[in-house]
Amino acid sequence: MIAIKNISVRAFSIWAAGIFLVNSALAAIPIEHWTQASGLQIYLVQGQAIPMVDVQLDFDAGSRRDPNDKAGLASVSADMVSKGVRAGSADEPALDENALGEAWAGLGARFGAHASTDRLSFSLRSLTYPDLLSRAVALAARQLAAPAFPKDIWLRERDSLIASIKEANTRPATLAGRAFSQAVYGKHPYGFEMTEASLMRIDASDMQAMYRELILPCRAKVTVVGAVDRAQADALVQQLFARLTSDNPARACAALPALPEVQPLDKPADVRVAFNSAQSHILIGQPGYKRDDPDHFALMVGNYILGGGGFVSRLTTEVREKRGLSYSVYSAFEPGLHAGAFTIGLETRPDQAEQALKVSRDVLSDFVTNGPTPEELKAAKNNLIGGFALLIDSNRKLLGNVANIAWNKLPLNYLDTWTQQVESVTVADIQAAFARKLQPGKMVTVVLGPAKP
Amino acid sequence: MSQHSMKRYALAILPLRCFFWPIITVLVLLLGSAQAQTPAVSAAQTRQFTLANGMTLIVKPDRRAPTAVHMLWVRVGSMDEVDGSSGVAHVLEHMMFKGTPSVPAGEFSRRVAALGGRENAFTSHDYTGYYQQIPAQRLEDVMRLESDRFANSQWSDEEFRKELEVVKEERRMRTEDNPIALMHEALNAAVFVASPYRRPIVGWMSDLDALTAQDARAFYQRWYVPANAAVVVAGDVDVEQVRALAEKYYGTLPSRAVPQRKPRLEPRQYGLKRIEFKAPAEQANVVLAFKVPSLQWQEDSASDADALALTVLSALLDGYQGARLERALTQGPDRVADSAGADNGLWGRGPQLFMLTGVPATGKTAAQVERALREQVQRIAREGVTEAELARVKTQWVASEIYKLDSLFNQARELGTQWVQGLPVDADAKLIVRLRAVTAQQVKSVAERYFGDDQLTVAHLLPQPLDNQRKPRPAPAGMRH
């Protein structure tokens, strides 16, 4: 056995990773957190082993804030950040998309933006050799502060996006997902969909306006993981945001308008879509829960047992392992600032669709009514607690976890207490939480496939 | 070849060009960074051993966190199949989860889960791999489990019948409802005549229909022999302890001869081949596949020098935002494409292809995109490339090699793919030396010599209207090839 390791080896691990993992039950990950004068919040985990750093900037500018007639604005604005930078001082000419691409390639670094439903995120990955890092941060700072949003490039990107939307509309997964999303979210922004029509209403000036309002230091959550100490991280972030200023500081960080919540479903919906595909696509679900819900751990552990846990979940056992009905079957929650969907999904040969649907519904309804068995809960805890270190064993994974803490205002010791939180979940907790959150009698069901299999 | 079929959900497996370079020297040279210093991850020594029965063991310590990845690689993939049994390597990969005399069906996954582990498996043209990501102190447990199923996999015909249906669902999901995948399947079947690369990894549907449990058992018996397998361990481990465990669990398995492999070499192509592939879609699609040399890992080989130069060429065409193809095809008022790409296979157990791909912009034709793609290669053949471009792509690669150190899984995967090709664990060091030596003149030269018509196969996807009230197609068009 190599289970018992001597202290010096452990000490080396701790030093090398900059993280502190004696064993999963005693894990302590030193997250440093401070706020700069601008109001900008920084979360840092040092890891000196590899000469690289990852920086993630999160803003409350995800697609949930898209105007409902301009769905896609956050997403396309994020894409357009890489399409050009305005001129700066005299020795800083404007850079077009190609100049930017060449510059990042030449630095061996990466910078980009991406929008999800809740966040508009920027990410920078660079080596930490000082001259390289400072050049990378300087370029990122220009790009963050002064994206050009060139109109001609936007018109080109728009054409290309519309073509890819049309192509996606020929695929069964796109159409099933759309029908599901519309039925689950109704008019909530989580259900907004970028379409040809919504793109045609978006102008480069919309991007500028959104950017001025939402992309400000005082609204930023910044996560840094890698080979920088606190002082270096502070200076790096200072430099990164140095050019990003508001033209109206007084207004700059007024609270953003609250958005409505996802409405619960009041009756079941059975959506059938005729489509000439080799497989029928089945989606079952409803609005789930918000990330700040106190039931989070019970739901997360419960879902591992129901349909989240690899080959050993109930859904995989019943649908795939016992009956061979599907290659992939899963259940998932998507908790966010609003109640993201709970979804069960699978694909199967059309003549088996009704059988697979029935098996999945039976598994769900049994789980919601009776909860897991004590043996299932024990197995889930073994996996989640035993495998905790696998959640944080690289800079990339740490970055995601720490950004999650920053974004969701979780306590700084969230990762340290994670295994205890999992350990404390009981069968009764899961049963009660699922009964509170899920109503199998009022769910949306989408079955997309050939009309007459 | 970079296509994989996975036992479970889509887990992105990147193209198999595995450069694993000694980073620091190269960085100083390429980035001109005066401050470049030796990082805390010194090039941890990767060690390779041959166990008593001929099995290979490769160990890479990485002590950043108390986790490890354990992989078992078998040098057998879909290219080792014969006609009529396509897909059997991948079906067997699925069946390896279905038990042994001491570990009942489903129990392997339950035990790995109970250890806190994550697991999966993958099949390519060239190899089959199985892995577990685990807390490092659980390494022995997964070595015990994996060695058991390597030697003693055993399951009923009924288990086989059920799992075969799962694999067919996988084929429907990945291929039959995906026009681009169908087109690539048809393209491969057109490009290769004798090479087993012509068959899809997942198998033709009619071969899956006809596959028997005995076919899978025979394939297992034939190919899963110690001298045809390697164990790769990376993570918070001690080399000598891993070696002792490997001797205990793997080294004691009875040795058997590795079956003879028929070469099945691809004959030379004499002239352009072209396929038109009709599928329900909105966008057309263009693929140009040029036969090119595969890296054979010989010093002073002109063919190897060309293979390396072709990889540099692909990066100059498509290696970063604003590289040549993007600039020439997707920008400006007369742009012909919504996207364009280039990729060189570089190495593999079978013949390699240099691929140019493009999606025509609205109102443009596949023929226009085909011409524009070829024109960009011809331009390099006429005018050559700049030193600045060369430096840029080399820098980018070198930096990527440092970033790659962040992932234990990728490090183990690279070591496994190198072993499959018969390369030593220091192949990385040798590769970078040779790649750095590629000159602008060599790139120009390969652009001149490898992109004529005679070694080329072209595929155009011709979009067809959707008809959603029609009965399902009896079989996808690609099946006819």
B residues 314..373 contacting A (CB < 8 A)? 319-323, 326-327, 330-331, 335, 338-339, 359, 361-362
Contact B418, B425 (CB under 8 A): yes
Contact B222, B128 (CB under 8 A): no
Tell me whether residues B35 and A129 touch, CB distance under 8 A: yes
Tell me whether residues A327 and B237 touch, CB distance under 8 A: no
Q: Which residue has the higher pLDDT, A61 or B2?
A: A61
Name the band, by pLDDT with cuts 50, 70 and 90, for residue A100: very high
Lowest mean pLDDT among A385-389, B17-21, B137-141, B237-241: B17-21
**pLDDT above 70 (res A16):** no
Of A132, A323, A387, the CB nearest to B135: A387
To test the contact with chain A by mutation, choose from B28, B404, B405, B468 the residue with the greatest count of A C-beta atoms within 10 A, namely: B468
Span B72-119, pLDDT tens digits: 999 999 999 999 999 999 999 999 999 999 999 999 999 999 999 999
DSSP string, B124-180: ESS-EEEEEEEEGGGHHHHHHHHHHHHHH----HHHHHHHHHHHHHHHIIIIIT-HH
Tell me whether residues A324 and B163 touch, CB distance under 8 A: yes
Distance, in Å, from the CA atom of B306 to the CA atom of B464, rounded to the nearest integer, reads 40
Question: In Å, what is the CA distance from B338 to each residue of A114, B39, B319, B359?
Answer: 20, 41, 17, 6
Of B177, B402, B470, the CB nearest to A51: B402
Mean pLDDT, to the nearest integer, of B50-56? 97
DSSP string, B57-92: EEEEE--SSSEEEEEEEES--GGG--TT-TTHHHHH
Contacts of B419 (CB under 8 A, 6+ apart): B56, B58, B73, B75, B230, B232
Tell me whether residues B116 and A387 touch, CB distance under 8 A: yes
Span A314-368, pLDDT tens digits: 999 999 999 999 999 999 999 999 999 999 999 999 999 999 999 999 999 999 9
3-class state of residue B358 by DSSP? strand
Distance, in Å, from the CA atom of B459 to the CA atom of B276, rounded to the nearest integer, reads 6
Answer yes or no: B93 catalytic.
yes
DSSP string, A41-110: EEEEEE--SSSEEEEEEEES-SGGGS-TTSTTHHHHHHHHGGGEE---STT---EEHHHHHHHHHHHT-E
Q: What is the pLDDT of residue B45?
A: 87
Contact A187, A137 (CB under 8 A): no
Q: What residues in B contact A387, CB-CB < 8 Å? A: 115-118, 134-135
Mean pLDDT, to the nearest integer, of B122-146? 98
Q: What residues in B contact A47, CB-CB < 8 Å? A: 64
Of A167, A323, A392, the CB nearest to B283: A167
Place of tokens 């409350």: A60
Query: Taking CB atoms and an 8 Å cut-off, how many pairs form between chains A and B?
Result: 283
B209 and chain A in contact, CB less than 8 A: no
Span B155-197, pLDDT tens digits: 999 999 999 999 999 999 999 999 999 999 999 999 999 999 9
Of A50, A386, A394, the CB nearest to B41: A50
To test the contact with chain A by mutation, choose from B211, B312, B321 the residue with the greatest count of A C-beta atoms within 10 A, namely: B321
Of B8, B167, B468, the CB nearest to A275: B468
- Residue A123 to chain B, least CA–CA distance (Å): 14
One-letter amino acid at B73 equals: W
Tell me whether residues B280 and A328 touch, CB distance under 8 A: no
Q: What is the pLDDT of residue B427?
A: 83
Q: What is the pLDDT of residue B470?
A: 53
Tell me the percentage of chain A whose pLDDT exceeds 70. 92
Q: Of B93, B119, B159, B370, which residue is the catalytic one? A: B93
Q: What is the pLDDT of residue B14?
A: 25
Name the band, by pLDDT with cuts 50, 70 and 90, for residue B36: very low
Name the band, by pLDDT with cuts 50, 70 and 90, for residue A246: low
Question: In Å, what is the CA distance from B131 to each residue of B61, B72, B102, B145?
Answer: 17, 6, 20, 11
Mean pLDDT, to the nearest integer, of A127-139? 95
Task: Classify strands A221-226 and A52-59 as parallel, antiparallel or unpaired.
Answer: antiparallel
For the record, the structure tokens of B19 come out as 């450069």
**pLDDT above 50 (res B26):** no
Name the band, by pLDDT with cuts 50, 70 and 90, for residue A37: confident
CA dihedral sign of residues A65, A67, A73, A77 = negative
Distance, in Å, from the CA atom of B202 to the CA atom of B188, rounded to the nearest integer, reads 13
What are the φ and ψ backbone dihedral angles of B168, each rounded to 5 degrees? Answer: -65, -40
Lowest mean pLDDT among A437-441, B18-22, B63-67: B18-22
Q: Which residue has the higher pLDDT, B428 or B358?
A: B358
Q: Which residue has the higher pLDDT, B350 or B430?
A: B350
Mean pLDDT, to the nearest integer, of B235-253? 98
Tell me whether residues B281 and A109 touch, CB distance under 8 A: no
B424 and chain A in contact, CB less than 8 A: no
Q: What is the pLDDT of residue A249?
A: 61
Compute the mean pLDDT over every residue in chain A, rounded to the nearest whole number: 92
Q: What residues in A contact B25, CB-CB < 8 Å? A: none
Residue among B341, B369, B368 at smallest CA distance from B355: B341
For the record, the structure tokens of A269 come out as 């919906």
Residue among B415, B453, B462, B440 at smallest CA distance from B49: B415
Residue among B433, B436, B435, B429 at smallest CA distance from B21: B429
Q: What is the pLDDT of residue B115?
A: 97
Place of tokens 């450069």: B19
CA dihedral sign of residues B151, B154, B159, B160 = positive
Q: pTM here?
A: 0.91
First to last CA, chain A: 55
Q: What residues in A contact B241, CB-CB < 8 Å? A: 2
Mean pLDDT, to the nearest integer, of A7-12? 29
Span A392-408, pLDDT tens digits: 999 999 999 999 999 99
Name the band, by pLDDT with cuts 50, 70 and 90, for residue B433: confident
Span B377-396, pLDDT tens digits: 999 999 999 999 999 999 98
Name the band, by pLDDT with cuts 50, 70 and 90, for residue B300: confident
Contact A414, A405 (CB under 8 A): yes
- Residue A67 to chain B, least CA–CA distance (Å): 27
Q: What residues in B contact A131, CB-CB < 8 Å? A: 33-35
